[in-house]
Amino acid sequence: MALRDIREFSAEEVALWLTLQGLGEKADTFIAEGVDGNLLVTLTLDELKNDLGLSGLQAKKVMKNIEFTRELGAGSGSGEESEELEKKVQALRRENEMLEDKVESLQGTITERDAEIRELRRKLDSLTHDKRETPQPVAYATPAPVHHHAPAPAPQRPPQGMPVVRNAAVGTATGAAKGAVIGAILPGMDARDGAAAGAAAGALGGGMQGLAARRRMRR
């Protein structure tokens, strides 16, 4: 409950106020004089002493408590202001409770996420460990196939004497035919002598061609 302004006190409330200060024996005098709160704040030291029968120390005490009570009333505000402040306090308290509920819910969510992260990390560590322990296949180099090539056959060289003999025989036959014709035509020579001379000349020419052919083959 908010503290009322001292100026709003009734005479009975002023008497109770004096009693709380240890001046209850003076309460009846204040009631008899009709001293309410509005009048109380206007009294001077002399009036308290001369008109209400207080001693000098009692009058100073009342004056000090009047000022103190007024400050309390001013600090607490009016009743309407106090109620408004109380409403704000209640609203802030409800908002604070809602925030606390949200924080608690978020804390639970964070705890669940932490558990999921730990489980995923455990699985990852297990997979990494298994991968390290699995032996890797050894790759062996496949040797290149060796191809065995059969040696190339040596070139066949024709018999050394064949071109010479063949050319000599051809030259003999050709020379005999030509000699026979020449022997039959020329005077003093018959066909047989011409054939013999032609054969000899043909054989010599054919042999020379055969030798030349063999030299070319050797190169």
Checking if the pLDDT of 98 tops 60, the result is: yes
Q: What percent of the chain has pLDDT over 70?
A: 51
Distance CA 214, CA 158 (A): 9
* Closest C-alpha among 85, 70, 67 to residue 3: 70
Checking if the pLDDT of 116 tops 70, the result is: yes
According to the model, what pLDDT value does residue 4 have? Answer: 80
Band (pLDDT 50/70/90 cuts) for residue 21 is: very high
Mean pLDDT across 92-120: 81
State how far the alpha carbon of 94 is from the alpha carbons of 80, 91, 107, in Å: 21, 5, 20
Q: pTM of the entire structure?
A: 0.36
Contact 205, 175 (CB under 8 A): yes
> Exposed (0-12), middle (13-18) or buried (19+): which is 177, by Cβ within 10 Å?
middle
**Residue predicted with more confidence, 209 or 51:** 51
Mean pLDDT across 100-128: 85
